[in-house]
Amino acid sequence: MTNKLDYTTPSNWHAYDVEHIWHPYTNIAEPTPVFPVASAQGVTIRLADGRELVDGMSSWWAAIHGYNHPALNAAIETQLQSMSHVMFGGLTHEPAVRLAETLINITAESLQYVFFADSGSVAVEVAIKMALQYQVARGKKNKNRLLSFRNAYHGDTFGAMAVCDPVNGMHSLFSDVLPQHYFADAPECNNQGVADVRQVSQLIEQHHPSIAAVILEPIVQGAGGMRFYCADYLRQLKALCEQYDVLLILDEIATGFGRSGSLFAYQQASIEPDILCLGKALTGGYMSLAATLSSEKIAATISQGEPGNLMHGPTFMANPLACAVANASIDLLFRSGWQQRVNAIEEQLITGLAVCKKLAVVNDVRVKGAIGVVELNQAVDLHWIQPRFVEQGVWIRPFNNLVYVMPPYIINPEELKQLTSAIYNVLSEMTAIAPRELSNC
């Protein structure tokens, strides 16, 4: 078919986008604004009209080194000379082996097996399958449900949706066809960092004969509410899982690779999961890749059971280009002084966002590692708020009642100040027009 669009004029292909492309969580009848991007470099997104935006989102938390990084570019270019992809069924390649070795070396000692997937949601699907196959293989077919948490978010595929918050989450439309699991209240801790595990303890005690695994986002609940909780909760939960013969799956897709202040968030509790899900920043935001790691106990038990094989196999699993750039991203992370950078971002976010607390539309301000969150009293209207941030020269993508930033680790103090100032300025404007009803799209 002949291409009829004039792609030399961004307004032409932008208009086609508006008419024909579904963007994430959008309504084609009333689409939220989409801004054409011409290029990205460092922490700057350059729009087709020439405007430059400081990126506060790291492309949904993944581009921790910023954009167009020479080391990551080189990794893909070098790998491309040998092969872009081969199937992983019956074949293997050095980038995948090298990445598996690295992940095993930098995660918990008990995690000795790696399954490569192509997205975070799929990594969660694989983790759920691992837990269920493990229980079947050991003769416990009745342990076929999971325990998850309110405010949880684990992805948009069906197995992952089933362990997301069924009431306040994004997937209630599908509740009648999703597997039914148990849900505990969202993790809570007091001001002294002591966890309240009474309710989750009661659930596990009551239902452990049918619970295959508990699944949880450690320390930071992400897209379900951007909530932070204390390490003591993880420690006590791990003890409950061991006491009642339940596996612990930790979803570090959002928190892995330094975002929460430690390389992996679970390390703050000095525990080890039975299964660990990684994604997002795994490739530095360059390509879609995820990994599910399991203990030797789980892998051996599944292999000795029926049918003996882990029943999953994505077409593009362990893509060589993605594995190569993941190796380069992890190497770059360890060379970059990431801990000092994340600590500096945390300190500046605490100071820069504190002024928002005095605004009438703000309910709470919280910071953890390189994550800054301003929780509002009402949902935002993306039609209204998104262009305001662009006018301020920043890229910030709020959702529901949350305005938050997860910037690349390479951001400098001036760029970070622009992000926090923009949040205050836009929310000040929002305060001035309250109490107008604003609703999220």
Share of the chain above pLDDT 70, in %: 97
Answer whether residue 2 shows pLDDT above 90.
no
Residue 124 sits in the same domain as residue 272: yes
Binning pLDDT at 50, 70 and 90, where does residue 438 land? very low
Answer whether residue 262 shows pLDDT above 60.
yes
b/e map of 76-104 (b: 16 or more CB within 10 Å)?
beebeeeeeeeebeeeebebbeebbebbe
Q: Give the relative orientation of helices 231-243 and 198-207 as an angle to the nearest 10 degrees.
A: 20
Answer whether residue 26 shows pLDDT above 70.
yes
Q: Tell me the C-alpha distance between 123 and 198, whole Å.
A: 30
Which of 210, 284, 291 is CA-nearest to residue 250?
291
In a domain, 84, yes or no: yes
Summarize the confidence of residues 82-109 as an average pLDDT: 98
Residue 288 sits in the same domain as residue 428: no
Summarize the confidence of residues 223-232 as an average pLDDT: 96
Answer whether residue 84 shows pLDDT above 60.
yes
| No. of helices (H) and no. of strands (E), the chain | 13, 16
Answer whether residue 439 shows pLDDT above 50.
no
User: Among 307, 335, 363, which residue terminates a domain?
Assistant: 335
| Residue 76 contacts residue 265 (beta carbons within 8 Å) | no
Mapping DSSP onto H, E and C, the string for 75-130 reads HHHHHHCCCCCCCCCCCCCHHHHHHHHHHHHHCCCCEEEEEEECCHHHHHHHHHHH
Which are the catalytic amino acids?
A: 25, 153, 251, 280
In a domain, 267, yes or no: yes
Give the lowest-confidence range in 6-15, 132-141, 231-240.
6-15
Residue 341 sits in the same domain as residue 267: no
Cis before 307? omega within 30: yes
CATH number of the structural domain spanning residue 384:
3.90.1150.10
Which of 383, 394, 381, 384 is CA-nearest to residue 423?
394
Q: Tell me the C-alpha distance between 417 and 430, whole Å.
A: 20
What pLDDT score does 175 carry?
Answer: 82
State the DSSP string of 61-73. Answer: HT-TT-BS-HHHH
Summarize the confidence of residues 181-194 as an average pLDDT: 96
User: Among 305, 335, 365, which residue terminates a domain?
Assistant: 335
The number of domains in the chain is 2
Site of tokens 């390649």: 93
In a domain, 441, yes or no: no
In a domain, 2, yes or no: no
In a domain, 238, yes or no: yes
Share of the chain above pLDDT 90, in %: 88
More confident residue, 412 or 2: 412
Q: Which tokens sit at 43?
A: 């922490």
Residue 168 sits in the same domain as residue 34: no
More confident residue, 317 or 173: 317
Binning pLDDT at 50, 70 and 90, where does residue 408 land? very high
Binning pLDDT at 50, 70 and 90, where does residue 30 land? confident
Domain housing 28: 10-65+337-433
